[in-house]
Amino acid sequence: MGWGFSFATITPSCEEGLPVTKITFSGLNSTRHRVVARELLNQVSKPFSLPQWNAELRRLQGLDLFSEVTLACEKGEGGLEITYKFTELFYWIPSPAGKKTDQEGWMLGLALAHLNLLGDDIRAEVQYRVSLDPWMDAQEYAFYTSSPWLLNYPVGWNVEFLRTDSWDNLRNYQDRSWYAHGDLKEALWKSLAPLLSGSYRYLEKVGSIPDVGVGVLWDNRDAKMDSRNGFYEELRVTQYGGFLGGPEDYQEYLWDSRVYLGVDRFISHLGWLARYRPGDQGVYDRLQQGGANSLRGFDSDSAIHGKHEILLNAEERFVLLERRPVSVFGANFFWGLQLVGGVDGAFLWDEGAPGWDNYRSAVYAGVHLVIPALDRLRIEVGYSPDGDGPKIAIGLFEKAVSQRWRSR
């Protein structure tokens, strides 16, 4: 097994203020040039800027396509010739497939993913997963594909299909369902984008449950993965059933807010997720809280459920080990390590305005392993005086992401 590390991201000859005369790319064996070119801030005929290079580096790392990105400069007549050097990740990933849900806990299986289909930053993945406890009590087949661009247009899209057969021990019903979902977002001005989404779910013994949603997103984070600075603001309204058909008729008013502030190795994160759902809702769509993806320090409990929720989070991260490349038998990956500590707060209620009797909170601490494809593996211990002792919580992705789809 061979391991290789490199920490330099820029050569000393990259001198601030000299005009850029030429830009070239090295190491793009599978990735189209346009995928990286649209992330660049330094341009030919303009002065080279170190702050812009630092911002470029974060954007290029956030693509989750490269284990390492470096910049080499050569002084020539009239200015700098700069070369962006890339080490591509191992894009075909046959691997164990993991998922953590409120009702089944950990599900494991097999997955085959491609992180850069056609070299155009398209991610596609097929998965088969089963529950661990009870063993194979739940089964799920899934297909996901997404990209932040449509060809070379700033239209992000996401499509997913799921087949589920499981007993939902939180809501106490047999979930035998087919689910299809799609999202579109178009960047109109800087980081502002309108949103359009739609889903179709068929649940045995219940029928069809369609939904359509519209919204707006303002996302100016420095990177989509392992964000250090910036904010994410999403407002969305979704109609379930009603005039669309099906047994339900309710709306979801969603506000998802995330703020990141990084200073040196410290990253402060504040998060807010509010979902207000007036109307007639089936038991299969009620919300639960407890665990790594909603409220650390508590276990999921079938007795605790509601129509509406607010999730609050304040977290401090310390970058113990910055992201670094590693090569294993010629396959390129990266990893990093962060120490974390924070506070979770949560309201869960049915009617009217929430009161303090609807509120629970906990503190937690742990470590996050930053890795490709999944963003991070979170290992934390949460505690609340209102809970039943310390609870170990293990989750994937940013908690701000996983709490949106934690039930499935």
Distance CA 132, CA 309 (A): 28
Indicate whether 44 and 134 sit together in one domain.
no
Q: What are the contacts of 134-138 at 24+ separation with CB within 8 A?
A: 137/104, 137/166, 137/167, 138/104, 138/107, 138/164, 138/165, 138/166, 138/167
Q: Which of 36-45, 92-101, 139-148, 175-184 has the lowest mean pLDDT?
A: 92-101
The mean of the pLDDT values for the chain is: 89
The enclosing domain of 391 has a CATH number of 2.40.160.50
Distance CA 279, CA 243 (A): 13
Q: Do 75 and 177 fall into the same domain?
A: no
Residues 60 and 97 placed together within one structural domain of the fold: no
Q: State mean pLDDT over 116-129.
A: 91
Q: Closest Cα partner for 67 from 322, 338, 332, 331?
A: 332
161 within 8 A of 276, measured Cβ to Cβ: no
- 230 has a pLDDT exceeding 90: yes
Chosen domain end from 49, 69, 88? 88
More confident residue, 286 or 130: 286
* Average pLDDT estimate for 114-133: 86
* pLDDT tens-digit readout, 28-80: 999 999 999 999 999 999 999 999 999 999 999 999 999 999 999 999 888 99
| 118 shares its domain with 62 | no
What per-residue confidence (pLDDT) applies to 136? 56
Three-state DSSP state, 282: coil
Which of 88, 112, 144 represents a domain boundary (last residue)?
A: 88
Query: Tell me, what's the pLDDT at 238?
Result: 98
Residue 392: per-residue pLDDT: 93
Q: Please tell me whether residues 397 and 263 are part of one structural domain.
A: yes
The answer on 379 and 230 residing in a single domain is: yes
Same-domain status, 44 and 131: no
pLDDT at 398 over 90: yes
**Averaged over 139-165, what is the pLDDT?**
91
The enclosing domain of 80 has a CATH number of 3.10.20.310
Same domain, 122 and 25: no
**Amino acid in position 380:** E
Of 88, 108, 123, which residue constitutes the final position of a domain? Answer: 88
Asked if 18 and 76 count as a contact pair (C-beta separation under 8 A), the reply is: no
* Structure confidence at residue 101 as a pLDDT band (50, 70, 90): low
In a domain, 10, yes or no: no
pLDDT value of position 174: 75
Nearby residues of 54 by Cβ (< 8 Å), 6 or more positions away: none
The end-to-end CA distance of the chain, in Å, is 37
Q: Is the dihedral of CA 53, 57, 63, 67 positive or negative?
A: positive
Note the pLDDT of residue 176. 87
SS3 328: strand
Question: Which residues are CB-contacts of 180 (< 8 A; sequence separation ≥ 6)?
Answer: 159, 160, 161, 162, 199, 200, 201
Residue 5 has pLDDT above 60, yes or no: no
Q: Is the pTM of the predicted complex or chain greater than 0.85?
A: yes
For 364, the token pair is: 């937690």
- 174 versus 305: the higher-pLDDT residue is 305
Residue 161 forms part of a structural domain: yes
User: In percent, how much of the chain has pLDDT > 90?
Assistant: 68
Question: pLDDT confidence of 250, banded at 50, 70, 90?
Answer: very high
Q: Give the residue among 131, 142, 205, 134 at the shortest CA–CA distance from 174.
A: 205
Q: With the C-alpha atoms ordered 187, 188, 192, 197, is the resulting torsion angle positive or negative?
A: negative
* Locus of tokens 């990259």: 14
Q: Examine the domain organization and report whether 198 and 295 are in the same domain.
A: yes
Number of domain units in the chain: 2
- pLDDT for 110 equals 76
* 111 vs 60, residue with greater confidence: 60
* Position 11 in a domain: no
Residue 5 lies in a domain: no
Q: Does pLDDT of 390 surpass 70? A: yes
Tell me the mean pLDDT in the region 279-287. Answer: 90
pLDDT (tens digit per residue) in 330-385:
889 999 999 999 999 999 999 999 999 999 999 999 999 999 888 999 999 999 99
pLDDT at 328 over 90: no
Average pLDDT score over residue span 15-26: 94
The answer to the question of residue 121 being in a domain is yes
Q: How many CA atoms lie within 13 A of 167 on its CB side?
A: 7
The average pLDDT across 309-335 equals 93
Are both 59 and 117 inside the same structural domain? Answer: no
Residue with tokens 């070119």: 37
| pLDDT value at residue 102 | 55
Q: Is residue 2 part of a domain?
A: no
Q: With left for phi above 0 and alpha for psi between -120 and 50, is residue 137 left, alpha or beta? A: alpha
